[in-house]
Amino acid sequence: MTDVTIRAKDGGTFYGYLATPAGGAKAPGVVVIQEIFGVNKVMRDITDGLAAQGFTALCPDLFWRQEPGIQITDQTEAEWARAFELYKGFDVAKGVDDLAATLDFLRAHPSCTGKVGAVGYCLGGKLAFLMGTRTSIDAAVGFYAVAIDENLGEAANIKRPVMLHVAEKDQFVPPEAQAKVKQGLAGNSNVTIHSYPGMDHAFARGGGAHYDAQAAKLANQRTADFFKQHLS
The set of catalytic residues is: 170, 201
Burial of 186 (0-12, 13-18, 19+ CB in 10 A): exposed
Q: Which residues contact 114 (CB under 8 A, 6 or more apart)?
A: 29, 107
Residue 47 to residue 53: CA distance in whole angstroms: 10
Single-letter amino acid, residue 97: D
| DSSP letter (8 states) at residue 38 | B
Backbone angles phi, psi at 15, to 5 degrees: -100, 160
Instruction: With residue 141 as reference, give the H or E element that holds it.
Output: strand 139-143
CB hemisphere CA count around 69 (13 angstroms)? 1
Alpha-carbon distance of 56 to 45, in angstroms, equals 13
Q: What does the alpha-carbon distance between residue 118 and residue 139 come to, in Å, rounded to a whole number? A: 6
Residues 6 or more apart whose CB falls under 8 angstroms from that of 105 comprise 4, 6, 7, 16, 58
Length of the chain measured in residues = 232
